[in-house]
Structure 1
Amino acid sequence: MINGSKLDLSQTAILRPATPDDVPVLFQLIQALAEYEKLSHEVSGNPDHLKQHLFGSPSYIEAILAELKGKAVGFALFFYNYSTFLTQPGIYLEDLFVLPEYRRQGIGKALITHLAELAVSRGCGRLEWSVLDWNQPAINFYQKIGATILPDWRICRVTGPSLTALGNP
């Protein structure tokens, strides 16, 4: 399922790359993810920026939609990173989300398996992502599919006024 072709998960679920027409529903899924993670107050972006970053020049991100009976029920949004130790690119999964009523149907596993296939086909050395420490169902799922949770690493982030101050000395 590279370059726009579709991949059947079963008789009814489809994985496919997002198109410009999908941006509104993709943004709705992002908002649903933020609500699930109790972070709705953090959503400050908008569909126009999302579209620009997905399909502009340059594009910064890619997204895969999961559809069930014609309805978008989940997504994976990702981009390249780089490992200096491996001296190889990798794929960083920014978000993986399936609407709660569609979970436990193999959709999340199909999305992450698809990303692993992309990583292998693109010569990447790793697929990685973060998970909230309170999200035990996600942690259990990730461990079940073979992921290692790295206890010694912490995410560092500079945003908003701190980023502006750091970037404009």
Structure 2
Amino acid sequence: MAAAAPPPPPAPVPEPSMTLVDTDSRNHPLFSRIRLATPADVPHIHKLIHQMAVFEKLTHLFSATESSLAATLFNSPPFTSFTVLLLEVSPSPFAPLHSPASSPSPYSPVDRIVYLDLPLDDPDRETFASDETHDVTVAGFVLFFPNYSTFLAKPGFYIEDIFVRECYRRKGFGRMLLSAVAKQAVKMGYGRVEWIVLDWNVNAIKFYEEMGAKVLSEWRICRLTGDALGAYGNANI
């Protein structure tokens, strides 16, 4: 009787492919730019302030209108009074901003590329479109103005508002806006930049502390506004 045929040799195990799957987040670049706001940006500034009031649960104090903003924000040269820097984003590189040769811009835009793992979904993209031709969207802003430190005997900047729309948070844009103000302060020889933060906004407090800011918990804001302001303004001294 013939011997049984030996079992066939096991099929060779295929070697793992050495080709890496492309998981590079650089497949989704988001171009960002900080530029000086102009009166034409007032409608977007107004909407940003309203979104900020909603986030801070302070809509009952919100009474600004586009007209009142336009009448008060752009009456002085930038950095000498109220100044607004806008944060814009685009899926494509920005077209250069052009200023008349006779009136060059006092602020050079700051550009940065953020690389995302996935495309970003902005539900208010059309509402905040600032340049539909080039697909540019307003994502945030910072409003600041000069103040003065008698202890330092130097001027500084006070940030009244800094805000990044919700879908653009935690991507470094808040740091980008703060850095823009700080760099301008250094450029002008100013002594400090300061702002306030709501005590319940622990995420913002942590973010500011990580940036090196000192949160002064022992200070309190004193404010006269509305009827109280009117009463003192009309009082006989």
TM-score, scaled relative to structure 2:
0.65
**1:60 CA drift (Å):** 3.8
Q: Distance in 2 between matches of 1:51 and 1:87?
A: 32
> Which residue, 158, 182, 203 being the options, matches 1:116?
182
Q: Distance in 1 between matches of 2:81 and 2:233?
A: 20
For 2:59, the equivalent position in structure 1 comes to: 40
Q: 2: CA distance between counterparts of 1:13 and 1:64?
A: 13
Residue 104 of structure 1: which of 170, 192, 210 is its match?
170
Residue in structure 2 matched with residue 134 of structure 1 by the alignment: 200
Contact 2:76/2:82 (8 A) holds in 1 = no
Q: Is the 8 A contact 1:53 1:60 kept in 2?
A: no
Q: Which residues of structure 1 form unaligned runs of 5+?
A: 1-9
Greater helix proportion: 1
- In structure 2, the residue matched to 1:4 is none
2:148 aligns with 82
Structure 1 residue 65 displacement after superposition: 0.4
Alpha-carbon separation, structure 2, partners of 1:66 and 1:57: 21
Runs of 4+ in 1 over 6 A off after TM superposition: none
Alignment of 1:148 onto 2:214: yes
* Greater alpha carbon shift after TM alignment, 10-19 vs 105-114: 10-19
**CA positional deviation for 1:122:** 1.2
- For 1:84 and 1:51, locate their aligned partners in 2 and report how far apart those are by CA, in whole Å: 32
Tell me the secondary structure at the aligned position of residue 44 of structure 1: coil
- Aligned twin of 2:88: 67
Q: Which runs of 5+ in 2 are unaligned?
A: 1-28, 91-135
Do residues 125 (structure 1) and 191 (structure 2) align? yes
Distance 1:160 1:54 in 2: 20
CA RMSD of aligned residues (A): 1.4
Give the Cα–Cα distance (whole angstroms) in 1 for the partners of residues 64 and 76 of structure 2: 19
CA distance in 1, matches of 2:217, 2:167: 30
Q: Which position in structure 2 is the counterpart of 1:5?
A: none
The TM-score with structure 1 as length reference comes to 0.91
- 1:51 maps to 2:64: no
Q: 1:139 Cα deviation (Å)?
A: 0.3
| Pairwise CA distance, 1:83 | 0.5
SS at 1:151 equivalent: coil
3-state SS in 2 of match to 1:14: strand
Structure having the higher Rg: 2
Q: Which whole-Å CA distance do the structure 1 matches of 2:213 and 2:44 have between them?
A: 29
Residue type at the aligned position of 2:64? G
Aligned length: 160
Alignment match, 1:24: 43
TM-aligned CA deviation for residue 45 of structure 1? 1.6
Task: Name the SS of the counterpart of 1:55 in structure 2.
Answer: coil
Return the alpha-carbon distance in structure 1 between the equivalents of residues 76 and 35 of structure 2: 21
